[in-house]
Amino acid sequence: MDGGLRRIPRHVAFIMDGNGRWAQQRGQPRQVGHKAGYEHIREVLGVCDELGVEVVSCFAWSTENWGRPQAEVEYILHAVEGELPRFAEELHQRRVRFVHSGSVGGLPPGVRRALEQAVWRTRVDGPRVFNLVFNYGGRAEIVHAARRILLDAGRAHPPTEADVSCHLWTAGLPDVDLLVRTGGEWRVSNFLLWQSAFAVLFILEAYWPAITREDILRAIEHFDRVMAEGGGRAAGAPLQSS
């Protein structure tokens, strides 16, 4: 059924927009939308795995989000602390490695500990990767990398793109091939700016908790068309037959 695809992206990144609006449309508190959005990650990962995507990144929390209502902030932080250990165990059982991209500075100790333990629990898993982009800002990440480069002792040459890449929070992950934003907004919102320099962009009108397998397949079909027309640098990977 997906045999028409010639290439799929190796790394798909999602801006998970619209959780709160999805809930409000249904007359429910925004927290209900965040819970639904968190649970929907599992389904999206399953679809991406079925299609042969190696790395999935999800933008769960921006450094700008700290300005949201306190109750909403606390709900999300408690959800990460309480739910991530179980989710990490699920990933481990599926041999998916968990990665966190973002700053741990300023996070409550319990949240920081949950992130670190999830990384440790899945450290030997792979090659599939789930990258939780949490407490993240693209500009802050680049500044962070620049500072680390400046602190390197004995540097004998000017910094290169490779030097910057290996000092980013995503060090070791491939660049983004396909960037998908839900919720209909045409903005990248300070998300993986360096890593998405050559990414194919696809906008979905549906809010994150409502996107379907068909939506994801449409995004990957778009990537396939762009690559076939020579419109991107990303190489993708051959689609695995099922």
Kindly state the DSSP code that residue 169 receives in the 8-state scheme: T
pTM attached to this predicted model: 0.90
Q: Are 117 and 88 in contact (CB under 8 A)?
A: yes
Domain-embedded: residue 164: no
- Give the count of beta carbons closer than 10 Å to the beta carbon of residue 28: 14
Residue 169 lies in a domain: no
Is 22 within the bounds of a domain? yes
Give residue 129's pLDDT.
98
Q: For position 157, what pLDDT does the model report?
A: 79
190 as an active site residue: the answer is: no
Single out the catalytic residue among 2, 49, 65, 163. 65
> Which of 17, 125, 177, 224 does the annotation list as catalytic?
17
pLDDT (tens digit, 9 = 90+) per residue, 69-81? 898 899 999 999 9
Rounded CA-CA distance 199/180 in Å is 10
The reply to whether 149 falls in a domain is no
Domain that holds residue 91: 7-136+176-235
pLDDT tens digits, residue range 211-232? 999 999 999 999 999 998 876 5
Q: Which domain CATH number covers 48? A: 3.40.1180.10
In this predicted structure, the answer to whether residue 24 has a pLDDT above a threshold of 70 is: yes
pLDDT at site 14: 98
- Tell me the C-alpha distance between 149 and 152, whole Å: 5
Residue 237's pLDDT is what? 41
Is 15's pLDDT higher than 80?
Answer: yes
Query: Is there a domain that residue 77 lies in?
Result: yes
Q: Does 161 map to a domain? A: no
Q: What is the pLDDT of residue 238?
A: 37
Look at residue 240 and tell me if it is in a domain: no
H helix and E strand count, the chain: 7, 8
The per-residue pLDDT for range 147-205, each reduced to its tens digit, is 999 887 666 678 899 999 999 999 999 999 999 999 999 999 999 999 999 999 999 99
> Is residue 11 domain-resident?
yes
Q: What is the per-residue pLDDT across 102-123, written as a single tens digit (0 to 9) for each?
A: 999 889 999 999 999 999 999 9
Domain count, the chain: 1
Identify whether the C-beta of residue 94 lies closer than 8 Å to the C-beta of residue 42.
no
